[in-house]
Amino acid sequence: MSQNIGSVIADTNLGQIEGNISDGVMSFLGVPYAARFTDDSRFEPPEPVQPWEGIASAVEEGPIPPQRPSRLASVMGDFELPYDENCLTLNIWTL
């Protein structure tokens, strides 16, 4: 049985992030590893993330890249995940 203990805060080089801890495993979801791009910079190398003030929430997964509909949907069913071209995020699990 999963035991959700609550939230956890981690210090990073850019600022603090708040994630979850469950069964001794910490998760930090949707952590940006590059800055959001604009239409003008879409095909340029990504820019670094700028430091932030306060505590950034890292409790929800970031968006997935836009994709064509799956051919397996008829077998496995549809799954709704948010998608966005600005999808440069990481999901991190650690002990």
Please give the average pLDDT of every successive group of 10 residues along the chain, which has 95 residues: 77 97 95 90 90 97 86 78 88 96
Q: Which residue has the tokens 């801890």?
A: 21
Per-residue pLDDT, 39? 83
Nearest to 53 by CA among 94, 17, 1: 17
pLDDT the model gives residue 72: 80
The structure tokens listed for 38 are 């604009």
Identify which of 94, 29, 92, 27 has the alpha carbon closest to the alpha carbon of residue 60.
29
Has this prediction a pTM greater than 0.75? yes
Q: Are 1 and 8 in contact (CB under 8 A)?
A: no
